[in-house]
Amino acid sequence: MKILQPGVLSLVQDAGRQGVSHLGLTQGGVMDRHAWAWGNRLVGNAWGAAGLEITVGGLQLCFYGQGVAALTGAELQARLNDAPLRNWCSFRFSDGDRLQLGHARQGMRSYLAIAGGLKTPVGLGHSRSTVMREKLGGPDGQGQALQAGDWLTLSNLQVSHDALPLCSVPLQWQPDYCDEPVILQVVEGYQAISLGAERIRALYAMDWQLNAASGRMAALFEPAPGAESLLQTPAMSLVSEGLVAGSIQLLPNGRPVVLLAERQTLGGYPKPGAVVPRSLDRLAQVRPGQRVRFAPVQPEIAEQQEQAFQRFFRVT
């Protein structure tokens, strides 16, 4: 397929790079695994297949060949040859068909999955994921976002077009991205005790808003209107340590930062805990200014949620 207009930010993404943190490289990969994994399931792809992550919208492309694709995630008012396309559904495309995506009405990121996946260069960590700051992944393997005129190679088009039935995601698994406040579940870490019960209670009691400066590296939060800020974070003598996706860092001004797919590998700010993976999927769709709340959850509950997710989407 050929990219006609790249939109605000459109990237080739898969499940991310594994086993590269010791090199100082970020994991990267999709921000919303829930929407991305459903897209791959709708078109019969195995876990890990690369697709497009479209932030905010505006993407336009033309298919050359035929096959089956699916759109999931944020509603982008999609049209195929000027005919409306339903979100969270698969559809067939033929040679010369043109896909046009509007801009998100709710949510932030949409995913385009193609039966067979995208055949872009495979780099470190056996991943096709794009990380622009590290110049990895993307159409040419050099870490570029999609640009007008880019070509992407598709796989197994004829077989997919003829054999795959069209289907949709059940309504109960289609998130409502307008719900507010968004609840982010947190597993507390060992530093929560050092921060003190008062600060931890304040973190949970307050409403927060996503700052517009947030991106694929981190979600930045500020107190929602009418909420009191956290007390200043106490000075703590900390040794930098490895960071996982979802790590919550408290800045000296007391505001929380949640580390995301393109997080740095080490950090030394105080960390009361981590947002669990299933909540990170929902966080990927939070719009700037939208209200969120942090809520504690037992590690066993978070583990059960993630195991159920993995069992459903990674069955071979």
When pLDDT is averaged across residues 15-43 and rounded to a whole number, the result is: 94
Whether 137 and 14 have beta carbons less than 8 Å apart is answered as no
Q: What pLDDT is recorded for position 64? A: 94
Taking residue 97's Cβ as centre, other Cβ atoms within 10 Å add up to 20
pLDDT of residue 280: 98
The greatest distance separating any two alpha carbons of the chain, rounded to the nearest whole angstrom, comes to 63
pTM above 0.75, yes or no: yes
Looking at residue 274, its amino acid is: A
155 and 15 fall within a common domain: yes
Pairing of strands 182-188, 291-296: parallel
* Of 159-168, 204-213, 261-270, the least confident: 159-168
Check which CATH number belongs to the domain holding 279 and give it.
2.40.100.10
| Segment 278-310, tens digit of pLDDT | 999 999 999 999 999 999 999 999 999 999 999
Return the pLDDT at 158.
57
3-state secondary structure the chain: CEEEEECCEEEEECCCCCCCHHHCCCCCCCCCHHHHHHHHHHCCCCCCCCEEEEECECEEEECCCCEEEEEEECCCCCEECCEECCCCEEEEECCCCEEECCECCCCCEEEEEECCCECCCCCHHHCCCCEHHHCEECCCCECCCCCCCCECCECCHHHHHHHCCCCECCHHHCCCCCCCCEEEEEEECCHHHHHCHHHHHHHHHCCEEECCCCCCCEEEEEECCCCCCCCCCCCCCCCCEECCCCEEEECCCCCEEEECCCCCCEECCCCCEEECHHHHHHHCCCCCCCEEEEEECCHHHHHHHHHHHHHHHCCC
- Indicate whether 159 and 121 sit together in one domain: yes
| pLDDT attached to residue 198 | 86
Of 36-45, 237-246, 257-266, 272-281, which gets the smallest average pLDDT? 237-246
Same domain, 224 and 96: no
Looking at 173, 202, 221, the residue that finishes a domain is 173
What would the pLDDT profile of 220-249 be if each residue is shown by its tens digit? 999 988 766 655 666 676 888 889 999 999
140 shares its domain with 215 = no
Tell me the mean pLDDT in the region 21-32. Answer: 92
Of 115, 140, 173, the domain-final residue = 173
- Residue 226 has a pLDDT of 74
The domain tally of the chain equals: 2
What's the confidence (pLDDT) of residue 316?
47
22 and 157 in a common domain: yes
Tell me the CA distances in angstroms from 130 to 23, 97, 193, 225, 287, one per residue in order.
Answer: 17, 26, 37, 36, 22
Q: Is the separation of the CB atoms in 110 and 73 below 8 Å?
A: yes
Regarding whether 188 and 163 lie in a shared domain, the answer is: no
Q: Is the domain of 159 the same as that of 188?
A: no
Quote the mean pLDDT of the chain.
93
Domain co-membership, 99 together with 191: no
Q: What pLDDT is attached to residue 234? A: 67
pLDDT digits (tens, 9 = 90+) for 112-170: 999 999 999 998 899 999 999 999 999 999 999 999 999 999 876 555 567 789 999 99
**Contact status, residue 143 vs residue 130, Cβ threshold 8 Å:** yes
Query: Is 128 in the same domain as 166?
Result: yes
Q: What is the percentage of the chain residues whose pLDDT exceeds 90? A: 80
- pLDDT tens profile 155-183: 765 555 677 899 999 999 999 999 999 99
Q: pLDDT value at position 252? A: 86
Q: Which domain holds residue 265?
A: 182-313
CA distance 137 to 12: 7
Q: Looking at the structure, tell me whether residues 145 and 287 fall in a common domain.
A: no
Q: Are residues 165 and 19 in the same domain?
A: yes
Q: What's the confidence (pLDDT) of residue 143? A: 95
Same domain, 294 and 192: yes
At which of 120, 140, 173 does a domain end?
Answer: 173
**pLDDT digit string (tens) for 48-69?**
999 999 999 999 999 999 999 9
